[in-house]
């Protein structure tokens, strides 16, 4: 649900609403973006506007129609040292997530947030966005999950954003992420994902050295 001033700690939070105290809901990457908005925007530093889906929304998405239990059963049976099985079952789980419809309230909140983002754009379908993964467990004292999940750039239009969010969610079950959690003794269901949707600017030049 999104309120007049912002949002509840339900499905959507705006970057200006979050900080490092909200790691459990929006993950490290989105929490850091929130800190940048709060601490740098007033100094004239341009920080991309945007919002994040919450860990609660991710869990509600998986719980709908018992998808989380299907995933739990499939993932717990994987022998991660059997690369062929890991590849096959991982792809199957990701397909389940990507084909799974978002619950109506979550989709409505994402659509509403997107509408607020583009309300002043004369041609919103041509505006590009980044849809980034932000895990609730990224950098821990004894483990690092950073870089394991997917980010999608140059995404335009709400339908493509909704699709990218599902693909972000599914990337929690890519092969390397599944194997890493097993090898480090983490339960798959202990980690949740937040998807951050923010403005994207394509590079015009680059150099190294």
**What's the pLDDT tens digit per position in 19-62?**
999 999 999 899 999 999 888 877 888 888 899 999 999 999 99
pTM: 0.88
Domain-embedded: residue 181: yes
Residue 70 falls inside a structural domain: yes
Q: Is residue 168 part of a domain?
A: yes
Reduce the DSSP state of residue 155 to 3 states and report it: strand
Is 139 within a domain? yes
Which of these ranges, 6-10, 28-32, 70-74, 102-106, has the smallest mean pLDDT? 6-10
The pLDDT assigned to 4 comes to 38
Q: Is the pLDDT of residue 81 over 60?
A: yes
Asked if residue 7 belongs to a domain, the reply is no
3-state DSSP: the chain helix, strand, coil percent, rounded to 5?
Answer: 55, 15, 30
- CATH (domain of 120): 3.30.1490.20
Which of 175, 176, 177 shows the shortest CA–CA distance to 193? 177
Domains: count for the chain: 1
pLDDT at 209: 54
User: Which range of residues forms the domain containing residue 151?
Assistant: 12-199
Is 4 inside any structural domain? no
Q: Strand 193-199 and strand 129-135: pairing?
A: antiparallel
Least confident of 20-24, 117-121, 193-197, 200-204: 200-204
In a domain? residue 3: no
Question: Is the per-residue pLDDT at 5 higher than 50?
Answer: no
Per the domain annotation, does 2 fall within a domain?
Answer: no
């Amino acid at each position: 649900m999104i309120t007049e001033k912002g949002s509840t700690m339900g499905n959507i939070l705006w970057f200006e609403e979050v900080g490092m105290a909200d790691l459990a809901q929006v993950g490290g990457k989105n929490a850091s973006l929130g800190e940048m908005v709060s601490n740098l925007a007033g100094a004239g530093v341009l920080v991309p506007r945007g919002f994040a889906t919450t860990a609660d929304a991710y869990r509600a998405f998986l719980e709908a129609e018992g998808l989380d239990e299907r995933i739990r059963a499939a993932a717990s049976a994987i022998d991660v040292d059997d690369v062929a099985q890991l590849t096959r079952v991982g792809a199957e789980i990701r397909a389940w997530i990507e084909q799974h419809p978002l619950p109506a309230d979550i989709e409505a909140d994402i659509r509403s947030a997107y509408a607020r983002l583009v309300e002043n754009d004369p041609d919103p379908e041509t505006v590009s966005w980044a849809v980034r993964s932000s895990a609730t467990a990224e950098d821990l004292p004894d483990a690092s999950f950073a870089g394991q999940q997917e980010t999608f750039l140059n995404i335009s239009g709400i339908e493509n954003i909704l699709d990218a969010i599902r693909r972000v969610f599914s990337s929690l079950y890519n092969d390397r992420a599944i194997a890493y959690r097993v090898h480090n003794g983490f339960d798959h269901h202990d980690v949740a994902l937040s998807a951050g949707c923010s403005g994207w600017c394509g590079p015009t030049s680059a150099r190294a050295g």
